[in-house]
Amino acid sequence: MKKIFYLSRSVFDKAKILNDLDILKNEQLQDGFYLNQPRVLEVGKKIKHLENKLALLAKLETLLSDAWGYVELSEEVKDGSLDSEVEDSLHILEREVGDAKIQTLLSGKYDGNDAIITIHAGAGGTEAQDWADMLNRMYKMYCEKHSYSIKILDVLPGDEAGLKGITFEVSGDNAYGFLKAEKGVHRLVRISPFDSNARRHTSFASVEVMPKIEEKPNIEIRPEELKIDTYRSSGAGGQNVNKTESAVRITHIPTGIVVACQVERSQVQNKETCMQMLYSKLVEKEEAEEMERLASIRGEIKKIEWGSQIRSYVFCPYTLVKDHRTGFEDSNVSAVMDGNIQEFINEYLKKLY
């Protein structure tokens, strides 16, 4: 119990958090503060992050108090009837403290940002498109469990079922810091429900994760470098769908990066969202190149690749989800597909940092 107590206190320095919060809130009261919008956004995000830390610390303190109460009561009763309650409360507390410690690993430049996720179905027609939709559902359920909000930016339905592709924004504390662990190729092995002969199929889908960049980074994008196409929306969107070419697709010619948005009501708004996504992708590309450069300097053998296969989901002939980067695995495929992927993310972050 004492070990867990000191562990929980070591995760967050409450006095420092409160002091930092006071400094930021006092800054908001200074004359002319709201004239500097980039700073307003930065301070607001920092305040929210610190307040979330305080809420998490309060939760840990409550769990600690509950566990201590069970221990004291068990010692008074002395008949072993509360042993299971004591063990359960300690297990929950230790797990929550462990999750909290993971948050302290999120020290990357953009870890505190919102995330933009794009899922692409691989080759394989309907089976692969259904797999893309299954991953989409898995991430949505993960977001629900962690109180993250989702905004769909672009969607391309499958021919018969599923999705050819989808892009959505995830908003919440450390959204990018956690979800960047999902970037890569995801492999599915199962008996296909679309195969009348009930044969086993292997399907692939790629997941791209990039930080949402609130402020324009120091990256120059010239108008002549852009190819801008407009088209009619294909997803749900009310009376404007299929009546006006409000959807926008932008191709950055020098890099070949393509972004698209159809969720907004006007072409102008969709173009603004596309440009924000393009800046985010260019920043992510720079970050990946820098990581590759540092890996080369350190003499690491493994090359950092965008399209590397990171995880396999086997439904048949046995059930197992295995992360190829960390070796972590879980035989409860149903739970994983219901959004229980935090342990996979945690193991990746431990290895990354």
Dump pLDDT digits (tens) for 90-105: 888 877 777 777 877 7
Q: How far is CA 246 from the centre of its chain?
A: 28
Domain boundaries, position 238: 223-296
Distance CA 148, CA 116 (A): 12
**Which CATH number do you get for residue 9?**
1.20.58.410
Neighbours of 270 (CB within 10 A): 24
Q: What is the pLDDT of residue 256?
A: 94
Q: What is the CATH number of the domain that holds 159?
A: 3.30.70.1660
Q: Render 155-194 in DSSP notation, one character per residue.
A: EEE-SSSSEEEEEEEEESTTHHHHHGGG-EEEEEEEE-TT
**Structure-block tokens of residue 92:** 């929950």
- The upper half-sphere exposure of residue 272, i.e. CA atoms within 13 Å in the direction of its Cβ, equals 8
> For residues 285-294, b (16+ Cβ closer than 10 Å) or e, as one string?
bebeeeeeee
pLDDT at 301: 38
Q: How many CB atoms lie within 10 A of CB 176?
A: 24
Tell me what the pLDDT averaged over the chain comes to.
84
Q: In what order do the strands lie in the sheet with 226-231?
A: 226-231, 247-252, 257-261
| Residue 328 pLDDT exceeds 80 | yes
Clarify whether residues 44 and 90 are in a common domain.
yes
β-strand partners of 115: 170, 211
Asked if residue 134 and residue 68 are part of one domain, the reply reads no
Torsion angle of C-alpha atoms 30, 31, 37, 41, degrees rounded to 10? 20
Q: Is 322 within 8 Å of 195 (Cβ atoms)?
A: no
Q: Supply the pLDDT for residue 236.
A: 45
Chain-centroid distance of CA 24 in Å reads 27
What tokens appear for 63 in the block? 């769990």
Q: Looking at per-residue confidence, does 53 or 202 come out higher? A: 202
Q: How many CA atoms are closer than 13 Å to the CA of 204, on its beta-carbon side?
A: 9
What would the pLDDT profile of 111-145 be if each residue is shown by its tens digit? 888 999 999 999 878 999 999 999 999 999 999 99
Residue 109 located in a structural domain: no
pTM (2 decimals)? 0.73
Instruction: Mark whether 196 and 320 lie in a shared domain.
Output: yes
SS3 201: strand
Q: How far apart are CA 231 and CA 229, in angstroms?
A: 7
Say if residue 317 is in the same domain as residue 185: yes
The number of domains in the chain is 3
* E strand or H helix at 72: helix 37-77
Average pLDDT over residues 163-181: 94
Specify if 264 maps to a domain: yes
* DSSP conformational letter for 315: -
**Residue after which a domain boundary falls, among 296, 317, 339:** 296
Q: Do the domain assignments include residue 335?
A: yes
What pLDDT score does 237 carry? 44
Same domain assignment for residues 334 and 196: yes
348, 325 Cβ separation under 8 angstroms: yes
* H/E element, 120: strand 115-121
301 in a structural domain:
no
Q: Is residue 143 a part of any domain in this protein? A: yes
pLDDT at 196: 75
What's the rounded Cα separation, in Å, for the pair 270 and 268?
5
Instruction: Answer whether residue 218 is part of any domain.
Output: no
In Å, how far from its chain's centre is CA 283? 17
For tokens 């997941």, the residue is: 207
Supply the pLDDT for residue 302.
41
pLDDT digits (tens, 9 = 90+) for 255-270: 999 999 998 888 999 9
